[in-house]
Amino acid sequence: MSGMGPPRPVVDRTVGEEHRRGVRIQAEHLTRRVRTGLTVLHDISLSIEPGEVVGIVGGSGAGKTTLLEALAGVQAAQAGTVRFDGVEISGSIDAWRRVLGYVPQDDIIHADLPLARTLRYAARLRLPSGTSPQAIERAVTEALRAPDSRNAPTSRSGP
């Protein structure tokens, strides 16, 4: 159909009995190599549900910023796809700009802030304003218990 324009983002939805704001982010098989030939993203696949708090942890050079830039449409991966609410973002990223935000890593969080405190801060910023302190604490605890976070540092990494 002509004249319909780009897809419109869905920013509110009900999941079960719970109302959540945001979009579902799905990445499949993301791969990215840097100029030196090193592969910093190797076949990464993940799904992030609306309102879900997610921590990306790893040492310097592990690909955290590269992954976030691919998910936000700032710098596409060389292979793989990113979808917002089922719509592939390559070619439609402008339609999502009003609901998508990306803050470079060094501009918002103090370098020595403990990881749990950083996650609580991010949860308060990103979860709906009526989210209870208990729900925020559950989200932080769940993120810290995630399989890939068991060996995570207790403070933010990077310069």
Residue 154 inside a domain? The answer is: no
d(CA 125, CA 40) in angstroms, rounded, equals 29
CATH of the domain at 132: 3.40.50.300
Continuous segment of H or E residues that includes residue 115: helix 115-126
User: Worst-scoring range by mean pLDDT, 34-38, 55-59, 76-80?
Assistant: 55-59
Least confident of 28-32, 99-103, 118-122: 99-103
Within-domain flag for 3: no
Inside any domain, residue 79: yes
Asked, for residue 94, whether it belongs to a domain, the answer is yes
Q: Is residue 27 part of a domain?
A: yes
More confidently predicted of 55 and 151: 55
Domain count for the chain, please give it: 1
Residue 114 identity (one-letter amino acid):
P
Residue span of the structural domain in which 98 resides = 12-149
**Separation of alpha carbons 21 and 129, rounded Å:** 11
Task: Determine the Cα angle at 80 with ends 74 and 83, to 5°.
Answer: 65
Residue 159 lies in a domain: no
pLDDT over threshold 90, residue 32:
yes
- Mean pLDDT over all residues of the chain? 76
Taken in order 31, 81, 14, 5, the sign of the CA dihedral is: positive
Helical packing angle, 115-126 and 133-145, nearest 10°: 130
The pLDDT of 58-72, averaged and rounded, is: 86
Q: What is the mean pLDDT of residues 98-110?
A: 62
Is the pLDDT reported for residue 154 higher than 60?
no
